[in-house]
Amino acid sequence: MRVELKTVLRSRAKPGDRSDEELARQARAGDVEAFGVLVQRYCAAVSHMINSRVVDPFEAERRVIEVFCATWRDLQHPLCSRRGFLGVLGHAVARNVADLDPPAEL
């Protein structure tokens, strides 16, 4: 089963909040607080994806932290400005879980 990343990673932004792309632009410029808002918006979704593949809760938490560290690093890369924030985050998740066994079929 293939799940579209945009379906799983829904923003928790409310009307009037800064957009993900605006926050990502600010994070690219080094704004840690803007990146923190993005982490708050997407942490639950990333945690859910990782926890569905990793049994050990400490390993899952470590991987979630790694995903957001990789996302921060990738946002700083000049070539990453071509991708939207969800593309950068999704790529970090995919790299993180690539070495895991596939999830069990229901």
Question: Taking a C-beta distance cutoff of 8 angstroms, is the pair 60, 96 a contact?
Answer: no
Residue 91 vs residue 80, higher pLDDT:
91
CATH assignment of the domain containing 23 = 1.10.1740.10
Residue 63 lies in a domain: yes
pTM of the model: 0.79
Which residues, 6+ apart, have CB-to-CB distance to 74 below 8 Å? 80, 88, 91, 92
Residue 2 lies in a domain: no
Whole-number pLDDT of residue 28: 93
Is residue 78 one of the residues assigned to a domain?
A: yes
- What single-letter amino acid sits at 105? E
105: in domain: no
- Residue 12 covered by a domain: no
Would you say residue 81 lies in a domain? Answer: yes
Expressed as residue numbers, the domain containing 70 is 19-97
Q: How many domains does the chain have?
A: 1
pLDDT, one tens digit per residue, over 16-73 is: 689 999 999 999 999 999 999 999 999 999 999 999 999 999 999 999 999 999 999 9
What are the start-end ranges of the H helices in 9-79? 20-28, 32-51, 57-76
- pLDDT, residue 82, reads 74
- 27 or 106: which carries more pLDDT confidence? 27
> Which residues in 45-73 are b (16+ Cβ under 10 Å) and which e?
bbeebbbeebeeeeebeebbeebbebbbe
**Is 67 inside a domain boundary?**
yes
Length, in residues, of the chain: 106
